[in-house]
Amino acid sequence: MSWPVEKILEEALKLDPKDRALVVAELSRAESGATPEEVEAAWREEIALRVRSIEEGTADTVDGREVSQRVRADYEP
């Protein structure tokens, strides 16, 4: 990682969560070229698809306890 990138990252991590989220959103938008409205519309569509698949019983789901066990296993020394 180059020095400017390290410095930018260091400063960004000092921001409060709301400002950090704004930076992430703006960088993502700049990378994708999508407007905030387009990004929101795409997320709404994705959410609707996921809800529909859960309601129809076609979604691959994982029990919350299993997810917790997997996460703990990944981060325990």
pTM value?
A: 0.52
**DSSP conformational letter for 59:** S
Does residue 70 surpass a pLDDT of 90? yes
Cα distances (Å, whole numbers) of residue 33 to 2, 10, 39: 25, 25, 10
Q: Which of 48, 50, 70 is nearest to 60 (CA)?
A: 50
pLDDT band at 62 (very low <50, low <70, confident <90, very high): very high
